[in-house]
Structures are given as C-alpha cells and as structure tokens.
Amino acid sequence: AQSVTQLGSHVSVSEGALVLLRCNYSSSVPPYLFWYVQYPNQGLQLLLKYTSAATLVKGINGFEAEFKKSETSFHLTKPSAHMSDAAEYFCAVTRMDSSYKLIFGSGTRLLVRP
C-alpha cells in the first residue's frame, strides 16, 4: 500500500525566507511523486512531478523538490517566499503501474508574513 505523510498542517514564513514543506512517502514499488498547489477558490494545480528521471525536479513559480529514495522523502523548497505563495500544498504519490490514481497527503497550508 502507498501513503503520504506531510509534516505540519501549517507552515508560516516571512516574505523572502526559505520555504520548506516536508513530504515522506511509503511505497512498495517505484513511485511517481507530485506536488500540487491549491490557491483560494481555485482548483488544484500541478507544481512539479518526479517520474524517475532527474532526482532534483524544478517546477513552476521557483519551486523545486528532490527525490531521496534513502529517506523516502520528496520535500518542496523555494529559496525566497513571496506573498503570492500563500496557499495549500499537497504531496501525492502514484504507482508506476497505475499512475492515474493519486494518493494525496493531508496538505500543508503555507502562510507568508509581510
């Protein structure tokens, strides 16, 4: 079975500070991993994805994530937070043989202080 754990339901950072959102996964088979973002009153939007190519994945809006198999982690980072980054972020995993079925974490709400 697969699962995703996102540590911290809320993360607060100052504008300009480093953003680090944590995601650990459990999977018995090689996974595909994703980060989705949900802005207020909008649908979920793909930030980035890992599909077994490069372990450091760059996404939209300056976000990136690194797949670390030894740590079963896929943490999301951004060097400098912007007010517009305030949103809810979801980590998700799928199996390579059923890549349509996303298993989501419970989400982390990012607050950016001026």
Closest to another protein by CB, 41 vs 114, is 41
The tokens describing 94, both together, are: 């799928």
CB of 77 to another protein, least distance (A): 20
What 3-state DSSP class applies to 83?
A: helix
- Those residues whose C-beta lies under 8 Å from the C-beta of residue 92, and which sit 6 or more positions away, are 4, 33, 34, 35, 36, 102, 103, 104, 105
Query: Is there a contact between 35 and 47 (Cβ–Cβ < 8 Å)?
Result: yes
CB of 84 to another protein, least distance (A): 19
Closest to another protein by CB, 42 vs 114, is 42
Closest to another protein by CB, 45 vs 80, is 45
CA dist list (Å): 59 to 22, 48, 64: 16, 5, 6
Closest to another protein by CB, 86 vs 102, is 102
CB of 1 to another protein, least distance (A): 13
Q: What does the binding site for another protein look like in residue numbers (CB under 8 A)?
A: 4, 9, 32, 36, 41-46, 49, 51, 90, 92, 94, 96-107
> CA-CA distance, 103 to 88, in Å (whole number)?
16
CB of 103 to another protein, least distance (A): 7
